[in-house]
Amino acid sequence: MRPQESYTRTAIALHWLIFALIAAGFALGIYMVDLPFSPLKLKYFAWHKWLGITVFALVLARIGWRLMHRPPPDDAIIPPWQRSVARAMHVVLYALIVVIPLTGWLYSSAAGVPTVYLSVMRLPALLVKDFALAELLKSVHVILNYTLLVLVAFHSVAAWQHHFIARNNVLRRMLPWTHPRRGNNGNA
């Protein structure tokens, strides 16, 4: 088992951390919007924004890391069309994970509500107050999130297919607690 058959530990950690934060931010986002105005709602909105900003910073770190550390090569057994689809999927996922927090930040800016990260760091407003634009950005933020949800579903189903049906290393090389299977795919 050569080390380059797996993603680096940093890449694995960032992948799962970002996943957990997105899942939390997504669930919180859906839950908080329909709450009646209350201190809890204000808290949840603040936490949601902090999660988004954290994801934004981490995904930039992850993209930077990936550019400096090539991901492990694909199994030779995986058909080229699947590799192309997977590659395109990964590009779109990265793009969405960058753009979604940005649309949230833009929406908050246009709504005239500054974001104070972790109650400590005031982030600059990206736009001047404009409620029509805020409504538009809100819709964009929501639509992109549901798009991400659908793509993440495909991404996971593909990973499970590789793991449970094709029984190759595709998922294993991103799992934090296992090592690549030896020798059953002709790639070891």
Partner 1 sequence: MRRFDLVIKLLVAAAIVLFAMPVAAQTVLYDKSRITCVSRQMSVPVEARFKRFSAQIAFDPAKPAAGKARLDIDLDSFDIDNAEVNDEVVGKQWFDARTYPKATFVSTAIKPLGSNRFEVRGPLTIKGRTHEVSAPFTYKEDGGTAVFDGAFPIKRLQYNIGEGVWKDTDTVADEVQIKFRIVVAALKPASKK
Query: Closer CB to partner 1, residue 51 or residue 97?
Result: 51
- Measured CA to CA, the distance from residue 148 to residue 30 in angstroms comes to 14
- Asked if 45 is part of the footprint of partner 1 (rule: CB under 8 A), the reply reads yes
Question: Does 28 interact with partner 1 (rule: CB under 8 A)?
Answer: no
Residues 57-116 that bind partner 1 (CB under 8 A): 111-116
Stretch that binds partner 1, among 23-31, 32-40, 146-154, 180-188 (CB under 8 A): 32-40
Burial class (CB in 10 A: 0-12, 13-18, 19+), 25: buried
Q: By three-state DSSP, how is residue 175 classified?
A: coil
Q: What would the 3-class secondary structure string for 8-75 be?
A: CHHHHHHHHHHHHHHHHHHHHHHHHHCCCCCHHHHHHHHHHHHHHHHHHHHHHHHHHHHHHCCCCCCC
Report the b/e string of 48-79 with b at 16+ CB within 10 A: bbbbbbbbbebbeebeeebeeeeebebbeebe
Q: Smallest distance, Å, CB 37 to partner 1?
A: 5
Closest CA to 65 of 100, 25, 18, 101: 18
The site that binds partner 1 (CB under 8 A) totals a number of residues, namely 17
Beta carbon of residue 4, minimum distance to partner 1 (angstroms, whole number): 45
CB-nearer residue toward partner 1: 64 or 114: 114
Give the per-residue contact string, 126-155, with partner 1 (x = CB under 8 A; - = no). ---x-x------------------------
Supply the minimum distance, in Å, between the C-beta of residue 32 and partner 1.
Answer: 13
Residue 46 binding partner 1, by CB under 8 A = yes
Measured from the CB atom, the residue of 19 and 50 that comes closer to partner 1 is 50
Which listed residue (2, 3, 9, 39) binds partner 1 by CB under 8 A? 39
Residues that bind partner 1 (CB under 8 A): 37-39, 42-43, 45-46, 111-116, 119-120, 129, 131
